[in-house]
Homo-oligomer: A and B are copies of this chain.
């Protein structure tokens, strides 16, 4: 997996910071997560090909998470895109986009599919042969979801020495890769574990923004490899975080710890602070593996 942060600052775009948007690459698929104003320019700056984006996930309808969506959709059309584009987001996103396309008399050159979300329970919203995406219901001032991206388990790896030693025909190889046992001509059953190795463990990534501290997400994201969790404020502004339904760096780290995440990435920083190093310091008092998200920063895992 490769995560590229296009923007991870709260509220208003500025000359040096961008509102929320990120690109997650899994097994050669690109998922765009949130789309604040200026996302299409951030995609260009980070040399991410528009044509590789087929799925856009919108967490909630606050401007710093979706005001760049209409521009992105329009630019794809101006560039003559033909491939389908799927938008996953709160109910209302379809009306916002289609109203603007209608009034500008500028329909897309490609088919646009809206998957509007209303449930307050985690649900599977995308699945193909490599990846599954589930919602993570969050608590914020409007209806909000995070998103959990899970790789599907890869095939088991053939133990070439073992299958040759048992004289197993190549016709059985796919069955072995799928985890099956093999029965030899003499009736002996060879357990799969003797014929194959464990595949590389599938990775998972959870995006949680925007939300107040909310332990209800823990069972959904338990054991996640990488957790991006918003930390709009430092603990010194905890009352403000509670009032605005945002989290502090310490709270983000507490969720990471309790969910047994392997890695925490912070983001969605309020622009009131000079620099973001203190977010890492505060989170590390709770949880050891903390990385700072920042515009243009990429993480591979």
Q: Which residues of A contact B (CB under 8 A)?
A: 11-15, 37-38, 40-41, 44-45, 61-63, 67-68, 70-71, 74-75, 78-79, 90, 92, 95-96, 99-100, 103-106, 141-142
B99 touching A95, Cβ below 8 Å = yes
Given A100-B96, A142-B105, answer yes or no on A13-B71 (Cβ-Cβ < 8 Å): yes
A246 CB, nearest partner CB in chain B, Å: 14
Contacts of A61 in B (CB 8 A): 100, 103-104
By the criterion CB–CB under 8 Å, are A67 and B62 in contact? Answer: no
Shortest distance between the CB of A100 and any CB in chain B (Å): 6
- A38 contact from B37, B62, B63, B99, Cβ within 8 A: B37
Q: Beyond A12-B79, A37-B37, A62-B106, list 19 extra A-B contacts (CB 8 Å).
A: A11-B75, A11-B78, A12-B71, A12-B75, A12-B78, A15-B45, A37-B38, A37-B71, A61-B100, A61-B104, A63-B70, A63-B71, A63-B104, A63-B106, A67-B74, A96-B99, A96-B103, A103-B142, A105-B142
The residues of B that contact A103 with a CB separation of less than 8 Å are 61, 90, 92, 95-96, 142
- B contact residues around A141 at 8 Å (CB): 105
Known A15-B44, A40-B12, A105-B141: A70·B67 in contact at CB below 8 Å: yes
Q: How far is the CA of A13 from the CA of B43 in the complex (A)?
A: 11
- Distance in Å from the Cβ of A24 to the closest Cβ of chain B? 22
Least Cβ distance of A72 to chain B in Å? 9
Measured CA separation A38–B70 after assembly (Å): 13
What are 12 A-B interface contacts by the 8 Å CB criterion? A11-B75, A11-B78, A12-B78, A13-B40, A37-B37, A37-B68, A38-B38, A38-B41, A61-B104, A63-B100, A92-B103, A95-B103
Are B14 and A62 within 8 A (Cβ)?
Answer: no
Residues of B within 8 A of A38 (CB): 13, 37-38, 41
Could you tell me the distance between the alpha carbons of A261 and B72 in the complex, rounded to whole angstroms?
Answer: 38
Nearest 5 A/B pairs, CB to CB: A92-B103, A12-B75, A37-B71, A63-B74, A61-B104
Inter-chain CA distance A90–B15, complex, in Å, is 30
The CA of A109 and the CA of B99, in the complex, are separated in Å by 25
CB distance from A34 to the nearest CB of B (A): 13
- Interfacial chain B residues near A45, Cβ < 8 Å: 15
Instruction: Tell me which residues across on chain B come within 8 A of A78, comparing CB atoms.
Output: 11-12
Closest to A37 in B: B71
Residues of B within 8 A of A15 (CB): 41, 44-45
